[in-house]
Structure 1
Amino acid sequence: MIRDAEGFGGRGARPAAGDLVRARAALLAPAPGQRRLAAADLRTALTDLHDFWLAAHAAAAGVGSSGVALVAVGALGRRELAPCSDLDLVLAHTGRRAPAELADRLWYPLWDAGIGLDHAVRTPDEAVRVAGRDQRVAFGLLEARHLAGDPLVSGALTDAVRRAWRSGIRDRLGELTEAAAARWARSGDVAHRVEPDLKNGRGGLRDLGLLDALAAAHVVDRPGGEVLRARALLLDVRTELHRLAGRARDVLRAQDGDEVAAALGMADRFDLARALSSAGRTVAYAVDVALRAARSAAPRRRLGPLGRVAWHRGAGKGSPHRVPLDDGVVLHGGVAEPRGGRRGGDAPPAAGEVALAREALPSRDAGLLLRVAASAARVRAPIAAGTLARLADSAPELRRPWPRPAREELLALLGSGPGLPDVVEALDRTGLWGRLFPEWGAVRDLPPRDAAHTWTVDRHLVQTVVEANRLVTGVSRPDLLLLAALLHDVGKGRGGDHAAVGADLARQVGDRIGLWPADVDLLAAAVRHHLLLPHTATRRDVTDPATVRRVVDTLGRDPVLLDLLHALAEADALATGPGVWTVWKAALVNDLVGHCRAAMAEGALPRPAPLDEEQRRRAEAVAAGGRADVLVSVADHLATVTVVAPDRPGLLSRAAGVLALHSLQVHAAELRGHAGAAVDVFTVSPRFGSPPDAALLREHLNRALDGSLPLAERLAAKERDYGGPPVDPPPPRLLWFDDEASGAVVLELRAADRIGLLHHVAAALESCGLDVRWARASTYGPTAVDAFCVHVDPGAPSAARLPAAERARVERTVLAALS
């Protein structure tokens, strides 16, 4: 757009840097009556202006001689110069003469005029060496563009850098990935952040540079149209932010949002935030896919996510292979690392990608999508792009109501903790999350109206689920806590009271996924009242009986709902932003909950159902014969395993261990007896394929009972094979309940589920000499809530049935078994 040298001193005259400064100012603040340039036009005009002035300046300084060239890198090299961007320049030379004096003539006028300048003097060989050490230098040189002087020199420099980049990309993938991850950790996401870092954040302009660098290495294709549109928006926002601030700024503050939005023709900062969130997600997802594709295209290096070494293509140990994760789901190209023993941090991601097994048929298996998602979140590995495409093209819709296995997989996904956000993002980018939850569209990329929020509404909901995972052992219904966390703000963006709207939507979701009507009511109530406790605690006197009575009456005197709301209030606040859940606020809510719980009548303890005639008949036969029997019946993807054996200490732990050994996940267990025989009924589902044959279970159970099957060793090996115990799980919680009517003493355990959990706990109780009268083992996604009724003297006073010291010893033993 700058056509001639007028204003720069004319032909043959040394152009003045002051003229460049004045010309820049005229572009940024045009005179009255002149057109204000749009963001993209402004960048083009600024680039043309600097190109022309620098070419003239270089010629006047003597760069026109052979063997020397002035090269633009960085934003100027990409023709993406923002109003306050620094100039990145390289004086390239052949090395035949030292260009120090020439460099001084180039750089000093720019410095004297106050123009930001990043400069270097390099031969092509020197440029290759520096680029090999410094990633940012390499990225800049890959974008180099000739400005003035000898084009053969600038061509030699760019050719040498690009050849070295392509040949060395295998050695640099780990460095690239680690540097990106460190930058993301410092700067956060462009998507979902209320005040995004447009340049350094995940999904920002530096990530676009990473995509360009990978494409320059010929390991991935050039970005497609969606990424290019995201790039244009990010550049336009940054351009207007520079123009507004009058200085280089990369973080879009909330107070600047309306002005930047108006400059771009948008209604307000909320429209701008939603568009930016979508653009950031597009770029971030493209980078994730590109890095995985690059690792696949450069297989000789032993690289995993975040630069971790995991495998390399080739024969022998360490070759890529397919590890089964679930029915129809495998981990391809890596292994799920053993996760036991780590504490105080997140589990490292597994190497490789989660993919469909060869025999999987997405078109015939409606639950396959959720199994893939839950498996990927559990091992924290990405879902292969091809798998997402196959699922998007051919996965059938889940029929209403969802079958129980699909609901269990959803809970497993929600209970995966740190692995959840990336999986939800991948599903959402490919339209699969919207199939599961059509209600999500209104909150997708929706910016919050409250300045305290860090995330967009959709990301806040996912983050609340992550925070709720740390609290699941504090409630008796962890499944409903996770669902309420996911849905508590889903009513936003629709007008009206978002809690009331959200309760209706939660009821809709609960019906669709197949919850029992009473559970649907409880879920809707949790969403409807999710603000009740924090608002009441911070605005009223929590010791006032009227306050307590109001809360109790609002909740229908339901202690389960009260505990759900307590945990949800904490998770919601933690996911809102730093400093929202304070010690003071936690203490107020705790006091309010304590007063409300005391005012609510405790519900009766559960009782096991009586045996039917067939169970009594088999119990009598086993009591007479002395050998254990096992029956298996299958209905609707679930199996019922009935264990009938002579009643003896250790039966429960051994039976539970045999089931775990055969990859049967226990959802519920009831222990009863008749005629001197125990009748233990387990509701289970197979982790893979079909349930094992009853004869095989019978053989292994009898071997476990006679001591010829080393259960502990076999279970430990199996847990290692499938990634080890959970990493940084929520703290287990033990609760005692005394039923005055029956004289029963019940120990309830709430803990993260794991292979053989019921076996370990039952063995711990047996080692304490306790006789378990009945047990209820319930699994809600990744959390187990197991209740054990222990035999005591019903005629003894309450305090004497199981003294406090004995209860403390039992608790220590159980917790030790879990660790």
Structure 2
Amino acid sequence: MASGAADLVRARGRLLDGGQPGSPRLDAESLRAALVDLHELWLTNKGGELGIAEGSGLAVMAVGGLGRGEMLPYSDLDLVLVHAEVAAAQVAEIADRLWYPLWDAHIKLDHSVRTVSQAVEVAAGDLIAALGMLEARHIVGDQELSSRLIGAVRREWRSGIHSRFDELVDHTRARWQRAGEIAHRAEPDLKNGRGGLRDIQLLDALAIAQLTDPIPGLGPETPGGGLRSAHRRLLDVRTELHRVAGRPRDQLHAQDADEIGAALRLGDRFDLARTLSDAARTVGYSVDVGLRTAGNALPRRGLARLRRKPLRRPLDEGVVEHAGEVVLARDARPHRDPGLVLRVAAASARTALPISATTLNRLSEDAPELREPWPTDALDDLLVLLGAGRGAADVIEALDRTGLWGRLLPEWGAVRDLPPRDAMHTWTVDRHLVETAAQASTMSTRVARPDLLSLGAVLHDIGKGRAGDHSVVGAELATRIGRRLGLRPSDVHTLGTIVRHHLLLPEVATRRDPSDPETVRQVVDALEGDPQALEVLHVLAEADSLATGPGVWGDWKSSLIGELVRRCRMAMAGDPAPMPAPISPEMAERARAGGVHVDLARGENIHAYTVTVVVPDGPDVLSAAAGVLALHSLQVLSASLGVEGDCIVAVFGVTPTFGDPPEVGLLRQDVIRATAGNLDVSAALAKRERAAGDVGRRLYAHARPRVIWSDTSAPGPAVLELRAEDRVGLLSRLAAELARCGANVRWASVVTWGAAVVDRFGLDVGAEDGPARREAIADALLAVVPGPAPKPSENAVETV
């Protein structure tokens, strides 16, 4: 090739037009390779013409796209002329003869002239320059000189990374803040956005610093083919973006998407958006893992060096916290424990600690699939995850990028990275489902069945991406999923109804007259008169709107739906009044015999147990019994309490936090001590919670707790219902407050749905029963449950 850069421009033009006359159009990858070869050939010839050869003390090195071997149609040329022991005048003359032809041909050029020591000094003082020099590649001239520069820059990078890591992280986050997320931007920045090409270069820089692997955190079932495939797809899209625009551009504009999708044989703009979302989320997850791994690999500085190595703190059966991550316990056996995946996920959601990439990879490789129907504890862990608010998004993303979420919900594949079809939607369909569940978790206390709300939220659009009405298709899928999860048949039916009619209330309320009796009748008929489904759909309508995008939910829409729901509720038959569970004849006989009895029996799965406590009646016995269970790391999932003669019979459904349950004799001994006042349960629980610190606590979604008094004129105990988020020893604390208020518990029915509880108590509130008395009892209970304190204008005590 002649030395004039005009020849380089003409050759590049021919490549962009398809190569030789009559030849087919080059695909994106072939075009990049041809452009790299073309520029290297020109620079090699020009370098030879200028005397830049082996032993000359001169070398031309490429950084940027040419340095990475990723030359795009309109990429800048980033070149460094390196010299050693060459006269300054001679270097200046050679540099001019190298740069001027490129300038004259209007080729955009970034250039510098450096000695090795100068290049290292610049890289040491400028983070951007350092990241660029890490990609430097020899083109022509003195190979030994280039190798010296590359080696010196990389050694300085490795030795100085401990003092530059924070700057690197801050720089990365600032870039993300400016450019946004590629996966959820209508017009993404392919280079600088989160999940883009700069992030892949960041991973390479961390790998050069020997802090992480170049491809961290991805298991064998990664959707889309993993990081290398994601990198190639991003490069292909950016290559076609240059070719379509006819100039260098990083931001993909909507008007170019169809043409680029067709050029890459992906389909239309929606198919292109889905491809980009998958690639960017794979890169984004890998960067999260890479930064976390790198941070943990750095040597501790200052006083941190004197601290003991991090302990392994138990979080659940087979799950521990170590070095700020959720990892498997040493004795965990993933290949024999199908529920371990969800226990790990639930522990991560509860504690806001990320799951170790090694743990996810091991689970992806070894963990078997859950059998149908799922055991109760697996469903409970799923509900804990879905109820964790926005913290669930990162956990689900980690599971999804490593193939585990799709194993739990195979139906998810059709909505994964599926772009929305209208502009009001902020998120892809799968992320919208997760965001809806996060919004719903903040409203969990507004429904009696927070489990159905969480499941309905995460499944309401599961029918999208398939042929047919997504509500109808989704209802069929939700019914199938509900059976797989082990829901009761009636709950499976309700879940299907929720998904089938998740648009019913918004559409009817905003398009028809909510006060029209015929409108009300049609809604009631569609829901088969089910007040439970109506209650969940009311909350789901708000959560769905809030998760769609700004301005979708407002006072007008809220008031219309609220009025429609009020009229439908009036037209439906109310729920039956809460009643205590019957006491079995065997337990009744033990109660009549007197004394303290404690039984421990295996439940319906290997992690579930039933503890039955029979104890003489007294004001603090429920608090004492429930507190003893909490002190022995038994989580109460359900409880029923009744009075038989002079004894209380309490039946608890429990699961050990980790390990096996305690010996029944030890439980009985502690129940006797607690009811006799020789064991301060409240103080022991407080001490345990302080010792645990932040580790092991739930990540509360901050739903406002509610106390609801049943407005009934029937004789018998007053019925109080508490809806709140769970905490260690909550039932014991509630019972203690009731006893302190002088409210005698005659019966109780307690259910835990994931991270939420719905506790009902039949109470003798005393002769002074009235609004003030009930408000005082409610305030006492609200003081010990998690969640934000109600505003002065909010009344968390209701009567229905």
Whole-Å separation in 2 of the counterparts to 1:164 and 1:71: 19
1:184-227, Cα deviation, whole Å (9 max, x unpaired): 45544444655443222333211211222233234445549843
Q: Who is 1:348 aligned against?
A: none
Q: Who is 2:782 aligned against?
A: 815
Q: Does 1:272 align with 2:275?
A: no
Whole-Å separation in 2 of the counterparts to 1:686 and 1:608: 26
Kindly report which structure 2 residues correspond to 1:517-532, keeping only aligned pairs within 5 A, or say none.
517-532=489-504
Q: Per the alignment, do residues 509 and 194 of structure 1 end up closer, same or farther by CA in structure 2, a change over 3 Å counting?
A: farther
Q: State the 1:235 CA deviation.
A: 0.7
1:269-298, Cα deviation, whole Å (9 max, x unpaired): 2332333333334333443444455456x3
Counterpart among 601, 618, 629 of residue 648 in structure 1 = 618
Q: Does 1:85 align with 2:70?
A: no
Q: State the 1:181 CA deviation.
A: 4.5
Q: Who is 1:5 aligned against?
A: 2
Q: Does 1:554 align with 2:507?
A: no
Whole-Å separation in 1 of the counterparts to 2:132 and 2:650: 69
Counterpart among 603, 622, 634 of residue 635 in structure 1 = 603
Q: Quote the sequence identity (%).
A: 56
For the Cα contact (< 8 Å) 2:612–2:650, is it kept in 1? yes
For the Cα contact (< 8 Å) 2:335–2:368, is it kept in 1? yes
For the Cα contact (< 8 Å) 1:192–1:445, is it kept in 2? no
Q: State the 1:407 CA deviation.
A: 1.7
1:6-37, Cα deviation, whole Å (9 max, x unpaired): 7x2xxxxxx56xx7666655544579867543
Q: Who is 1:209 aligned against?
A: 201
Q: Who is 1:341 aligned against?
A: none
For the Cα contact (< 8 Å) 1:476–1:785, is it kept in 2? yes
Q: State the 1:775 CA deviation.
A: 1.8
Kindly report which structure 2 residues correspond to 1:98-247, keeping only aligned pairs within 5 A, or say none.
116-147=108-139, 151-191=143-183, 195-223=187-215, 226-247=226-247
Q: Who is 1:71 aligned against?
A: 61
Whole-Å separation in 2 of the counterparts to 1:111 and 1:810: 82
Q: Per the alignment, do residues 750 and 256 of structure 1 end up closer, same or farther by CA in structure 2, a change over 3 Å counting?
A: farther
Q: State the 1:526 CA deviation.
A: 0.5
Whole-Å separation in 2 of the counterparts to 1:172 and 1:708: 57
Q: Per the alignment, do residues 377 and 133 of structure 1 end up closer, same or farther by CA in structure 2, a change over 3 Å counting?
A: farther
Counterpart among 743, 760, 765 of residue 738 in structure 2 = 765
Whole-Å separation in 2 of the counterparts to 1:292 and 1:699: 46
Q: State the 1:692 CA deviation.
A: 1.9
Moved more, 440-449 or 92-101: 92-101
Q: State the 1:244 CA deviation.
A: 1.7
Q: State the 1:528 CA deviation.
A: 0.5
Q: Does 1:669 align with 2:639?
A: yes
Q: Who is 2:505 aligned against?
A: 533
Whole-Å separation in 1 of the counterparts to 2:556 and 2:175: 34
For the Cα contact (< 8 Å) 2:389–2:700, is it kept in 1? no
Counterpart code for 1:276: L
Whole-Å separation in 2 of the counterparts to 1:783 and 1:275: 37
Q: Per the alignment, do residues 540 and 102 of structure 1 end up closer, same or farther by CA in structure 2, a change over 3 Å counting?
A: farther
Whole-Å separation in 1 of the counterparts to 2:558 and 2:113: 59
Q: Does 1:803 align with 2:770?
A: yes
Whole-Å separation in 2 of the counterparts to 1:401 and 1:35: 55
Whole-Å separation in 2 of the counterparts to 1:810 and 1:59: 91
Q: Who is 1:339 aligned against?
A: none
Q: Who is 2:790 aligned against?
A: none
Whole-Å separation in 1 of the counterparts to 2:562 and 2:120: 62
Kindly report which structure 2 residues correspond to 1:96-495, keeping only aligned pairs within 5 A, or say none.
97=88, 116-147=108-139, 151-191=143-183, 195-223=187-215, 226-295=226-295, 298=297, 300-301=299-300, 317-332=307-322, 334=323, 351-352=324-325, 354-495=326-467
For the Cα contact (< 8 Å) 1:71–1:92, is it kept in 2? yes
Whole-Å separation in 2 of the counterparts to 1:100 and 1:651: 91
SS of residue in 2 equivalent to 1:817: coil
Q: Per the alignment, do residues 324 and 69 of structure 1 end up closer, same or farther by CA in structure 2, a change over 3 Å counting?
A: same
Q: Who is 2:749 aligned against?
A: 776
Q: Per the alignment, do residues 51 and 473 of structure 1 end up closer, same or farther by CA in structure 2, a change over 3 Å counting?
A: same
SS of residue in 2 equivalent to 1:321: coil
For the Cα contact (< 8 Å) 1:379–1:419, is it kept in 2? no
Q: State the 1:47 CA deviation.
A: 3.6
Counterpart code for 2:747: W
SS of residue in 2 equivalent to 1:417: coil
Q: Per the alignment, do residues 484 and 25 of structure 1 end up closer, same or farther by CA in structure 2, a change over 3 Å counting?
A: same
Q: Does 1:614 align with 2:586?
A: yes
Counterpart code for 1:784: V
Q: State the 1:751 CA deviation.
A: 1.3
Q: Per the alignment, do residues 524 and 725 of structure 1 end up closer, same or farther by CA in structure 2, a change over 3 Å counting?
A: closer
Q: Does 1:40 align with 2:7?
A: no
Whole-Å separation in 2 of the counterparts to 1:422 and 1:564: 25
Counterpart among 689, 705, 710 of residue 680 in structure 2 = 710
Kindly report which structure 2 residues correspond to 1:587-626, keeping only aligned pairs within 5 A, or say none.
587-622=559-594
- Relative to the length of structure 2, the TM-score reads 0.87
Q: Per the alignment, do residues 268 and 664 of structure 1 end up closer, same or farther by CA in structure 2, a change over 3 Å counting?
A: same
For the Cα contact (< 8 Å) 1:447–1:457, is it kept in 2? yes
Moved more, 145-154 or 410-419: 145-154
Whole-Å separation in 2 of the counterparts to 1:89 and 1:179: 24
Q: Per the alignment, do residues 150 and 413 of structure 1 end up closer, same or farther by CA in structure 2, a change over 3 Å counting?
A: same
Provide structure 2 residue ranges, at least 5 long, that are not aligned to the other structure: 217-224, 787-800
Q: State the 1:746 CA deviation.
A: 2.2
Counterpart code for 2:623: S
For the Cα contact (< 8 Å) 1:311–1:320, is it kept in 2? no
Q: Per the alignment, do residues 739 and 108 of structure 1 end up closer, same or farther by CA in structure 2, a change over 3 Å counting?
A: farther
For the Cα contact (< 8 Å) 2:391–2:699, is it kept in 1? no
Counterpart among 510, 531, 553 of residue 482 in structure 2 = 510
SS of residue in 1 equivalent to 2:652: strand
Q: Per the alignment, do residues 330 and 27 of structure 1 end up closer, same or farther by CA in structure 2, a change over 3 Å counting?
A: same
Whole-Å separation in 1 of the counterparts to 2:705 and 2:303: 32
1:591-637, Cα deviation, whole Å (9 max, x unpaired): 33233333333212221133333333333343xx6xx4433333324
For the Cα contact (< 8 Å) 2:406–2:412, is it kept in 1? yes
SS of residue in 2 equivalent to 1:681: strand
Moved more, 729-738 or 472-481: 729-738
Give the aligned CA root-mean-square deviation in angstroms: 3.4
Q: Who is 1:338 aligned against?
A: none
SS of residue in 1 equivalent to 2:194: coil
Whole-Å separation in 2 of the counterparts to 1:163 and 1:424: 38
Whole-Å separation in 2 of the counterparts to 1:537 and 1:702: 57
Whole-Å separation in 2 of the counterparts to 1:524 and 1:122: 69
Q: State the 1:518 CA deviation.
A: 0.5
Q: Per the alignment, do residues 49 and 396 of structure 1 end up closer, same or farther by CA in structure 2, a change over 3 Å counting?
A: closer
Whole-Å separation in 2 of the counterparts to 1:244 and 1:379: 47
Whole-Å separation in 2 of the counterparts to 1:121 and 1:194: 41
Q: How many residues align?
A: 769
Q: Per the alignment, do residues 116 and 753 of structure 1 end up closer, same or farther by CA in structure 2, a change over 3 Å counting?
A: farther
Q: Per the alignment, do residues 467 and 246 of structure 1 end up closer, same or farther by CA in structure 2, a change over 3 Å counting?
A: farther
Q: Who is 2:665 aligned against?
A: 695
Q: Per the alignment, do residues 222 and 619 of structure 1 end up closer, same or farther by CA in structure 2, a change over 3 Å counting?
A: closer
